Structure 1
Amino acid sequence: MKRRIVMSMLAGATLLASSLLGATPARSADVPAEFGTDWHDPVTAAPPVTRPSGKSCQVTVAEAQFRDFTPYQGTYTPPEGCGDRWSKVVLRMDGKVKGRQYDRLGYLHVGGVEIFRTSTPQPSPDGIEWSVEKDVTRYSDTLRRGHDVEMLIGNVVDDTYTGVIDVRVTLTFYADPASAAPTAPAPEATAALATAPDRVLTLQDGTLTTPRNSERIVAEVYATGSGGGCEEYWYLSAPDPAPYSCTAADGPYREVQIKVDGRLAGIAAPFPHVWTGGWSNPFLWYVVPGPRAFDVKPIEYDLTPFAGLLNDGRPHRVEVSVVGVPEGQSGWSAPVNVLVWQDAKSAHVTGKLTAHRVGDLANSSTYTPGSEHRVDTEGGHRLTVAGYVDTSHGRVATTVRRALSNTSVHRWTDGENLDALDATWTDAESVTVDGRGPARTTRTERTYTMDGTTTLGADDRLRTVLTLGDRADAGTSYGGRSIAWSRLDDTYTGDATWTTNVPRDQRHAVGTTSERYRLYGSGGCYDRSLASVQGVLTEDRSGC
């Protein structure tokens, strides 16, 4: 059995993102001996979006049934009665599907701005319902005006794959800033995103033209390997000439880069998403999805050091690329939004790029043949950029430092009847802003982990044991004194077995899954644990 056949259940998809909310979970001791034809609706341990009290207004953005690759086309009109300055804007997508269907990816664009990206759960024959929420306050500039809307969850419906994906998306606007509810400590919040940007821009034919008075610029990239090919599980790529079903000349190291006028402006480690058919085993994900499977967060790059160059009123080329992808091979999507904060008292903010140091890209994958084949990978990269802008409130210097690393051990046997990976990615970033008063530094260290093994026995019983980790330590200091900190630890574990190459009712599948999401720091604490057995939610516990 080749990995390209069984490793992924995400076929023929295009590309939509944020916190998943399931139906209110309930404990149950009635656990069947194996999976049946129905199971608990999807639920995640991630915290829901906090909502302010006070007046709110709701607008329906899209309502559609997805059967193929035809996008939903509609229009968005701003709400009436809530003004045009909001303390928070919350997007919610409610979905339902039943029958047989793969996991699918989708997007939602408003005025060309991608505000939402997610994947879908796989349904039971009897049907499931789920909901996704996301704080989209940062897109307020876009939402103040009417726009065209486009949404797509690419799908295939035929005699075999019968699941029609039925969704409704709404936006809820909260009008009174004074009544905004406190939020949980954000593990990756930067000073740049403390307030909503003045402008949200998209690239035009690959170029960006910023307002001439831009004083802070942040690009966000929704980068995902997807589409059913090898780049969907890029972390398992083996270097040529290793005898593996997916190979890449440089092995599995991937790095998402952004360039401005051909000059490297930002680097990042991509998150190793596992969609709800991943690792050959949909029974791992029916109730509890992997981290970020329904919450495709964008990578953020602080481009403020380049503001002096970008503010000349001319278009500048902005390119996103993924290191390690074989030339000519598709499989990555990386749409770009650019968030801009403007100096209201200046017509033209000038500045200069003062430092640009690119470290050597380390990328080594060593293949060792044997009865158990092995690939050892070590990779990493460093980048420092610095610059200043002269604003109406004085000169402000920004220094951005980023360091990436990746280590992994990939083992497999002939025929890939055993396939195992133990991998860690780190992405450490610091942004220092030095203007009037003491310097302010925001540091974030992200760590992603994957430790899993799939085995296929002589009786066609396929077993997957997998642990996934999404962690982030963040802190902000002012004049060298810590003023805020947070720590996120989202850990998923699963163990599921089923019989392949037989009709659905003969799979005799069993599986246990669990997730614990912990987020704590100077802003508060959140801790929730979930567990499921054979599709029954057996634990839902919260407490700090």
Structure 2
Amino acid sequence: MRSRIIMSMLTGATLLASTLLGATPARSAATPDESAATSARSAAAPSRTDASPAVPAEFGTDWHDPITAAPAVSRPENAKSCHVAVAEAQFKDFTPYRGTYTPPGECGKRWSKVVLRLDGKVKGRQFDRLGHLHIGGVEVFRTSTPQPSPDGIEWSVEKDVTRYSDTLRSEQPVEMLIGNVVDDTYTGILDVKVTLTFYVGRPDARTARTVPDRVLTLRDGTGLTTPRNSERVIAEVYATGSGGGCEEYWYLTVPDEAPYSCKADDGPYREVRIAVDGQLAGIAAPFPNVWTGGWSNPFLWYVVPGPRAFDIQPLRYDLTPFAGLLNDGRPHRIEVSVAGVPEGQSGWSTPVNVLVWQDEKSEHVTGALTKVREGDFANSSTYTPGAEHRLDTEGSHRLTVAGYVDTSHGRVTTTVRRSLVNTSTHTWSDGENPDALDARWSDDETVTVSGGGGGSKRGQDRTTRVQRSYTMDGTTTLGAGDRLRTVLTLGDRAAVTETRGGRRTAWSRLDDTYTGDATYTANVPRDQRHAVGTTSERYRTYGSDGCYDRSLVSVQGVLTQDRMGC
């Protein structure tokens, strides 16, 4: 088993590698109705202004523990809570941790919130690694790791996992793996502990709508069999492009005719699709994850990681239009594929959970799929040779699916419209120096629900629109004296609007922006890199539920600014 794979984004530069779920080497949010959030040990620190600490001339052997600007998971006030240890392990190879989860008897089986927390520490030298946590076969958490300082770091991640309550109500097998390699050179052992905190009580109305009655997984190729009274079905896919090859940098791949180190027949456009019994049922734009060794420059990420790096968010697909079909009591084939990946090439992991809401007053909910309309699939990459090579890519796809279910509270019709657009300009010179990408992705989804009680009156449709957009704008250059510099901006944005009868009832906006500029001497021992770097993140949310605004800045590994305010 290889511990890393060397590939070039820039001649003479080594991209640091990581390992995907212990299978093969790897390298390199949030949907509005999920309250998942990442935090470092000081993520809940009080508001403060510039700290003005002493900043060294360059990175030393230690730096501030990893920290993100995302909010910590909110907790219910004055609620009884119980803690359960789920996994505790030192990962130094590809051996998974296996144990047994037991529900907290003293907190019952109804909870207003369940919060997962990972606490980790590592020291020495190590790559970024990817990992997963399964409880009862359900993937409840996927993460990547920070890279350590020689003196050692500690970090933590929090996630709201209330939606997996169905799984957590009974004893379950646990599997956790962060595939790692430890030898004379790469000495960092990943020491992690995962706990769950349960808060007794009923969830508030908004949270309750996000908590399904059942959580199902696809096991042993037997297909998916839903309860026969299912009235709402959501699939979530923890899709990550990795595996140590070019699919970790899928957004930089080029067609065969272009002289670049990462090839893909159709260029960099990727689309994660889900199908039911061979019928296309959903499309989504994958998030362009950048792990903590990404863009040839680990000094960009030592303190402030890229968006979603520690809490990898699943893609979500509303399969409710297929509920009538799925409710026939037979197993159905659910398949996930990634459009754009060269045929026969691995590099994507796509585990699936299926969340089901049931009609408790019906034994069998019938219905039908009434529409599947697929728009033209566009994917073109135009290569322009020259002293500066250039690849311009445009990709897009539309899909509309609709169906109804006849429930105890009337006929409910669900229509899902989704539109994906990707544009990118990739430029590089001979030797891939410099190497630059300016890319945009949009994923616009509208779900309209008609009927079923309060929405049965004409003009009272309930509509939720989620407009997701991701951006990546960066350049890597190898200059005089093998000084490698990376300048990069990443954006993770979402706008959510809920309406009823055409009137807005709730709304929110997310803007998570990371910027970094780091330089070091490549191709020399670690203690001779003379690295410098400034990184920052501003995480903002605002809307009908209020606002949150936090900004971080680090310089040479020192946190120089941590500001809160709206």
TMscore range, shorter length: over 0.9
Structure 1 portions without partners, runs of 5+: 183-190
The offset of 1:194, in angstroms, is 2.3
Q: What is the number of residues matched between the two proteins?
A: 533
- On the 8 A contact 2:19/2:128 being kept in 1, the answer is no
Q: Does 1:450 align with 2:472?
A: yes
Q: Does 1:286 align with 2:302?
A: yes
Please tell me the residue identity of whatever aligns with 2:216: L
1:252-287 CA distances to partner (integer Å, 9 max, x unpaired)? 000000000000000000000000000000000000
SS in 2 for 1:8: coil
What does residue range 223-234 of structure 1 map to in structure 2 within 5 Å? 223-234=239-250
Within the candidate set 303, 306, 320, 1:304 is matched to 320
- On the 8 A contact 1:6/1:279 being kept in 2, the answer is no
1:269-322 CA distances to partner (integer Å, 9 max, x unpaired)? 000000000000000000000000112000000000000100000001000000
**How many Å separate the matches in 1 of 2:9 and 2:301?**
18
* Distance verdict in 2 for CA 1:461–1:442, change over 3 Å: same
What does residue range 34-433 of structure 1 map to in structure 2 within 5 Å? 34-53=58-77, 54-177=79-202, 194-206=209-221, 207-433=223-449
**How many Å separate the matches in 2 of 1:176 and 1:337?**
25
**How many Å separate the matches in 1 of 2:207 and 2:327?**
18
- On the 8 A contact 1:7/1:278 being kept in 2, the answer is no
1:183-204 CA distances to partner (integer Å, 9 max, x unpaired)? xxxxxxxx89723100000012
- On the 8 A contact 2:365/2:406 being kept in 1, the answer is yes
What does residue range 476-487 of structure 1 map to in structure 2 within 5 Å? 476-487=498-509
1:478-526 CA distances to partner (integer Å, 9 max, x unpaired)? 1110000000000000000000111111000000000000000001100
SS in 2 for 1:172: strand
**How many Å separate the matches in 2 of 1:470 and 1:337?**
24
- On the 8 A contact 1:213/1:347 being kept in 2, the answer is yes
The offset of 1:29, in angstroms, is 2.3
- On the 8 A contact 2:397/2:421 being kept in 1, the answer is yes
- On the 8 A contact 1:383/1:403 being kept in 2, the answer is yes
The offset of 1:20, in angstroms, is 2.8
SS in 2 for 1:177: coil
The offset of 1:205, in angstroms, is 3.2
Please tell me the residue identity of whatever aligns with 1:164: I
CA RMSD of aligned residues (A): 1.5
SS in 1 for 2:126: coil
1:85-130 CA distances to partner (integer Å, 9 max, x unpaired)? 1000000000000000000000000010000000000000000000
How many percent identity over aligned positions? 77
- On the 8 A contact 2:487/2:518 being kept in 1, the answer is yes
What does residue range 495-534 of structure 1 map to in structure 2 within 5 Å? 495-534=517-556
SS in 1 for 2:180: coil
SS in 1 for 2:105: coil
Structure 2 portions without partners, runs of 5+: 1-6, 23-28, 30-35
Runs of 4+ in 1 over 3 A off after TM superposition: 4-8
Please tell me the residue identity of whatever aligns with 1:324: G
> Residue 4 of structure 2 corresponds to which residue in structure 1?
none
**How many Å separate the matches in 2 of 1:296 and 1:89?**
18
* Distance verdict in 2 for CA 1:273–1:417, change over 3 Å: same
**How many Å separate the matches in 2 of 1:439 and 1:78?**
39
- On the 8 A contact 1:10/1:275 being kept in 2, the answer is no
Within the candidate set 12, 15, 18, 1:8 is matched to 15
**How many Å separate the matches in 2 of 1:227 and 1:283?**
22
1:433-476 CA distances to partner (integer Å, 9 max, x unpaired)? 11132210000000000000000114111000000000000000
The offset of 1:28, in angstroms, is 4.1
Within the candidate set 530, 536, 539, 2:558 is matched to 536
Please tell me the residue identity of whatever aligns with 1:205: D
1:47-99 CA distances to partner (integer Å, 9 max, x unpaired)? 10000121000100000000000000100000021110100000000000000
The offset of 1:6, in angstroms, is 4.0
**How many Å separate the matches in 2 of 1:401 and 1:192?**
24
The offset of 1:3, in angstroms, is 2.0
**How many Å separate the matches in 2 of 1:383 and 1:236?**
26
- On the 8 A contact 2:307/2:514 being kept in 1, the answer is yes
- On the 8 A contact 2:326/2:332 being kept in 1, the answer is yes
- On the 8 A contact 1:110/1:142 being kept in 2, the answer is yes
